[in-house]
Chains A and B, each alone.
Chain A
Amino acid sequence: MQEVDVRLDRVTKDFGETVAVDDLSLDIHEGEFFSMLGPSGCGKTTTLRMIGGFEEPTRGTVYLGGRDVTNLPPYRRDVNTVFQSYALFPHLNVFENVAFGLRRKKVDKRDIDRRVREALELVDLRGFETRKPSQMSGGQQQRVALARALVNRPKVLLLDEPLGAVDLKLRKQMQLELKRIQEEVGITFIYVTHDQEEAMTMSDRLAVMRHGRAEQVGVPEDVYENPQTEFVATFLGASNLLDGELKEERDGISTVLLSGGDVVRLPSSRAPFRVGSAVRVGVRPEKIQIEADEGGEPPMGLNRVRGLLRMSTYIGVSHQYKVEGPGGAELTVWVQNLGARPAPRPGERVVLSWRPEHTFAVLPQGYAAEEEEAV
């Protein structure tokens, strides 16, 4: 693949008792849009700060473009940051804030003028040149912070929730702009966000972080379709998880006996565990078909469980169903509103079915506590 641009090699950062980043290794490729997702306090900002040079790792090494920069001060790294807290210069107006980096690099005066105006145009802040940061709204300040970093066209741009305070419409527009710049100029983006949709749509790859570690790193589709831990399965999108035991593995097909008595099958590559392990079998809500239970057999080769429809919510483009499955497990089902079939009603017995290749398995782990933290 492409060259590695940013490499974290077994990086740890302790703050006294707190381990903010825990033995983290990451390779981020040149020109890549790489996102970091994770609950509050999982170490995203700290990771960015170590790449930017504001925090020295307790252990481990940071490489930029193959060079060990662990002890290099920020101003000697060709990296710019959009800070979570904006950190605009209060004594400078918007123009001078954005021009700050260019002036330090002794860029030609006329070029500065042009590039600053372009950058301000990009973040939709034309005409704000002479305002002071204190005279702007949070979202506007955030866009100044974005322009101030972008204007330098660094090799690597670190963005710590850069659109968090921007309203939805402008946010969509700026997501497109950011993606365009990133591809045109070939900047490596390391992007922290709380917005899953943003991470999924914009990233080439993403990392789901937890407790200072990367739980899973990969292409958004892979991480979504094949989460490798229970945490990832529930943090990135919604998942239905059913307890069971891995019973058999034959011809690339694994069989799991659910605690409710049903048997489901899935490709063995999606359940790389020893036979006999306790596992949780997962399936995404939109992958499930729901129909009234008429006693008949569904098409061969599908996984299926029976249940009682508890609740049906109409959301316009789709229906959301809550189904009480075998052993009392609650399952969520989203069905696109095609209007082809009559929707089942609450209180009816239903059959849920889905394809084995849409099934995944993870090892059970206590995750409830962290999930609360994440909200």
Chain B
Amino acid sequence: MEQPVRSDLPVAERKGARLGRRLAPYLLGAPASLWLALFFVVPMFTMLSLSLQTCDPVTLACRLTWHVGEFPQAVGEFHAYFLRSIQYGGAATVIDLVVAFPLAYWIAFRARRKSFFLLMLLLPFFVSFVIRTLTWQFILSDQGLILGTLKNLHLLPQDFHVLATGWAVTAGIAYNFLPFTALPLYVALERIDPRVLEAAADLYASRSMAFLRVTLPLAIPGIFAAFLLTFVPAVGDFVNATILGGTSNLMVGNIIQNKFLLFTDYPAASALSAILMAVLLVGIALYSRVLGSRTIEEYV
């Protein structure tokens, strides 16, 4: 398709080549579009329609009744879970950004064997999500390695516990999603030309000024990506709350899971999912308006 158009070819063939070139982007995009349509658009509409259906509790046969009652009920009954999810997910994302930025910065600008440290960062990913989280349950357990020792040394009261608190859930999420934060940050920082930082130093910017005025603004797309890739799955997560949070720290993900699998209340589960999605989309749209149109430069 990239061959030059040969003038000695019959007109029809040349036209074909030109048509091919015009079609190329669509053809290249086709597999991805098909994939999206099949595994994203269709399920999404299925979900939305399911939330407007009414199901027989015994046979589980559902019918579209345009019954919108699930939505107010979901908000009324579970708004606390939404808030908690955003709180845990948000806190975990902030923790991840704070931890991952220096880490990514160090690997991008200072480390000698970058690929080694990137591998170290990714290594926990080779272990199943659930197993990793279970390990944290073991580490944080009331009489476990850390708390047990501290209690034996009388540094902590006997009834002190971390498990089954919001702290444990937040920490678990932060731990599990750290690479999602670190990798986009690393990519953004790695792309910064060190000569630009030299220019900043040449123009009287101290190290901290150069960081504030050059490194940070250039890293903003990476920060944005890191935030998205961490915050969105973190808010919807249910594994950490299940394993580390006990019964009183459940998140929306848990409710959805329960409604779906335990109570087979498909319309309610779908409504909850739809609301979560809407909340996240609105939040992200606002957030990208702020970060997208302005740079740190204009804030300071």
Contacts and interface: CB of A to CB of B under 8 A. Distances in A.
Contacts of A73: 201, 206-207
A87 B197 CA distance: 8
A189 interface: no
Contact of A87 (B198, B209, B218): B198
Contacts of B193: 87
A255 to B, nearest CB: 54
Given A74-B198, A87-B198, A89-B196, A101 B203 contact: yes
Nearest to A91: B217
Contacts of B213: 100
Contacts of A74: 198, 201-202
A232 B200 CA distance: 36
A100 B218 contact: no
A88 B202 CA distance: 12
A81 B202 contact: yes
Given A83-B195, A90-B218, A75 B297 contact: no
B158 interface: no
Interface in A225-241: none
A70 interface: no
B216 to A, nearest CB: 10
B195 A104 contact: no
Nearest to A151: B203
B202 A80 contact: yes
B214 interface: yes
A90 B215 CA distance: 11
Given A87-B196, A88-B199, A89-B196, A75 B204 contact: yes
Interface residues of B, number: 20
Interface string B203-246: 11111010001100110000000000000000000000000000
B257 interface: no
B295 interface: yes
Contacts of A88: 196, 199
Given A74-B198, A83-B195, A104-B209, A91 B203 contact: no
A105 B204 contact: yes
A54 B198 contact: yes
Interface string A45-62: 000000011100000000
Interface of A: 52-54, 73-75, 79-81, 83, 85, 87-92, 96, 100-101, 104-105, 148-149, 152
Given A74-B202, A83-B202, A90-B218, 13 more contacts: A52-B202, A54-B198, A54-B202, A74-B201, A75-B206, A80-B203, A81-B199, A87-B196, A87-B198, A91-B217, A91-B297, A101-B203, A104-B205
